Amino acid sequence: MAPDKAQQLGTDLAHLAASISEIAEALKTTGNADHSSGGNEPKPQMEASTAKASTLEEVRGILADKASTGHREAVQALIHKHGCQRLSDIDPSEFDVLITEARAIQ
């Protein structure tokens, strides 16, 4: 397999994993809402997203998506801005801020 193809496949898989994780969390939240409120009203989306901490996989998926759409340099700049050379070196407490910054990349 060509290196470019392997890299793209890895990026796509990371994005897919992040998406699956987000869906699983949403399903868990919906399931908990059904049990706690009688099942009539699901919890608002914002409440669910603020209650959980972001994972490395979620951050990696978002950054991989941005990098694959032509923002590779901006993604690297974000990682360096947080004082690291690699995403895995960033403190998990900074993941939410990093996601916010990444989503702001246009």
| Domain extents in the chain | 3-103
Residue 78: the pLDDT is: 93
∠ CA 14-25-21, nearest 5°, is: 10
Query: Higher pLDDT residue, 29 or 72?
Result: 72
Phi-psi region of 105 (alpha: psi -120 to 50; beta: other; left: phi over 0): beta
Confidence check: pLDDT of 49 > 90: no
From 105, 69, 65, 64, select the one nearest 87 (Cα to Cα): 64
Residue 87: the pLDDT is: 93
Reported as a pLDDT band with limits 50, 70 and 90, residue 25 is confident
Query: Higher pLDDT residue, 35 or 105?
Result: 105
Give yes or no for a contact between 67 and 75, defined as CB atoms under 8 angstroms apart: yes
pLDDT digits (tens, 9 = 90+) for 77-99: 999 999 999 999 999 999 999 99
Residue 46: the pLDDT is: 47
